[in-house]
Amino acid sequence: MFELNFHSGKKKITYGNLSVVIRFLVDDNYLKKNFTNLEKIYNLNLSDLHRENFLSKEINQLRVSTHTSKPDEIIIKKIKVDEKFDADYFRNYFSETIQKIKTEKLNSIHLFVPNFTDFKKYFEDELYLIQTIIEGIYLGNYSFDKYKSEKSSYKKIEIFLYSENEEAVKKTIQRTSALMNAVYFARDLQNEPSNELTPEIFTKLVRSEAINRNIKVTIFDEKEIERRKMFGLLSVGKGSINKPRFMILEYKPQVKKNKKSKLNKIALVGKGMTFDSGGISLKPSKSMGEMKNDMAGAAVVAASLLAAADNKIPVNLFGIIPLAENMPSGSAFKPGDVIRTSSGKTIEIEDTDAEGRVILSDALDYASKLKPDQIIDFATLTGSCVVALGEFVAGLFSNSDELANHIYQSGLKTYERVWRLPIWDDYFKLIESEIADVKNLGNRWAGAITAAKFLEKFVDKKIKWAHLDIAGPSIHHNFRSYTNKYMTAFGVRLVYDYLNRITK
């Protein structure tokens, strides 16, 4: 893993020892001419084999040593801007590249940003293209070796980004680095083993980061949770020796007193199951270890507040995080139980493995009572959503077309993509209970939708609300080079872009 130091490259370029340059060439009618120009600029002694291979259809990258060793090597990447090209290209490429060179003894990388004109269809401006490059390097550089007895030492590497607008690049580096540090924090939380991340430890880790950013932190222990009649959260957590917690974060930026515009007030709610065994309705043992990631929604919410605070986004932001472990024991809640939540509504427990929505019932009620303009919740809620959309897309449910569209657009831009599913009232019938206000599980049909309809029961109808089921994309998968090894922190970059989008 590198210790990354980004710089906005100056017009006068100095290549130090052990340096590599990365240049891009678009595969168009000028490819051969532009390739020849690069040969001259870097005084490359290329063979006919090098030229023929690079100009062929089969080879899209060439890495060669320079004649003068200033820089030592140059990587020339050929890009075909066709129907297969997408807005994630540079993020994915640099993630893959940084993973390949992690073990090399490099001191510096010099990146020349390609001509934006060739890519303006895919990026709103050149600075966002540059942001995706920086994000890709961070994402590819991430690792989690905390519990290895022999750790790889961190190597410092200087990364220079060359573009016409030097000052704008500096600001992009600062903003993106703050965002990606928040992504790293979320990934670290998600990848922690559950014996090292109980509800109590989660609150301590988040609190230590939040107080350094003037984010207000409030934590309810199990006694306060009971006093507030949050029996959804209390019931789910009572089977474990590690008792539940309820965490409230608030970020409120300083604004000029004479500023008339009102700050948006948004509540982010994150499911925080630090481990989910399924409880009495015990899960199969295969892959149960991945249930340490059942707190991904909580990690996304906490990290989103850190990123907003670091980059001073002008929005009044709340983070509402219910935390619990779902374990089988003599004191655990059971199928057939009826639970009264803080809203006064009652839940019949059909299955104790549908526990996330039960703890969210109290969290969404608490968020509603804050009277925000919007509530957005994040939860690794259902396997049904993964069946419907695959591992790399989150399910989106909302009572507001405007809110849903903004989130969808931010998803396309950041490539943390979402797809909207219906929440027609017809689906309520699938979770009707004969003895309570609602059941926590329907039949096998439309499982992701009935889970969303359950959550909707606990949201004030006057408030715009969106639910993101991130069960698939929060866990490592093989669709991108930066998602194939560790838990992903899916949602942090999405939220960050969304908050910027609505405050412009």
Indicate the SS3 state at residue 203.
Answer: helix
Task: Tell me which residue of 319, 436, 302 sits closest to 367, measured CA to CA.
Answer: 319
Q: Sign (positive/negative) of CA torsion 350, 355, 357, 360?
A: positive
Task: Give, as one character, the DSSP assignment of residue 372.
Answer: -
Q: Sign (positive/negative) of CA torsion 434, 438, 444, 450?
A: positive
Residue 63 bears catalytic tag? no
Query: 73 with 21: CB under 8 angstroms?
Result: yes
Task: Tell me which residue of 305, 322, 411 sits closest to 360, measured CA to CA.
Answer: 322
Q: Over the Cα atoms of the chain, what is R_g?
A: 25
Residue 151 bears catalytic tag? no
Query: Which residue is catalytic, options 265, 283, 340, 420?
Result: 283
Query: 199 with 327: CB under 8 angstroms?
Result: no
Burial of residue 217, with CB atoms counted within 10 A of its CB: 0-12 exposed, 13-18 middle, 19 or more buried: middle
Indicate the SS3 state at residue 275.
Answer: strand
Query: Which residue is catalytic, options 78, 187, 357, 493?
Result: 357
Q: What whole-number distance in Å separates Cα of residue 375 and Cα of residue 268?
A: 6
Identity of the amino acid at 494: L
Residue 6 pairs with which residues in a beta bridge? 159
Distances (CA, A) of 49 to 24, 31, 43, 198: 20, 17, 17, 58
Indicate the SS3 state at residue 409.
Answer: helix
Tokens at residue 3, please? 């210790």
- Give catalytic residue positions: 283, 357
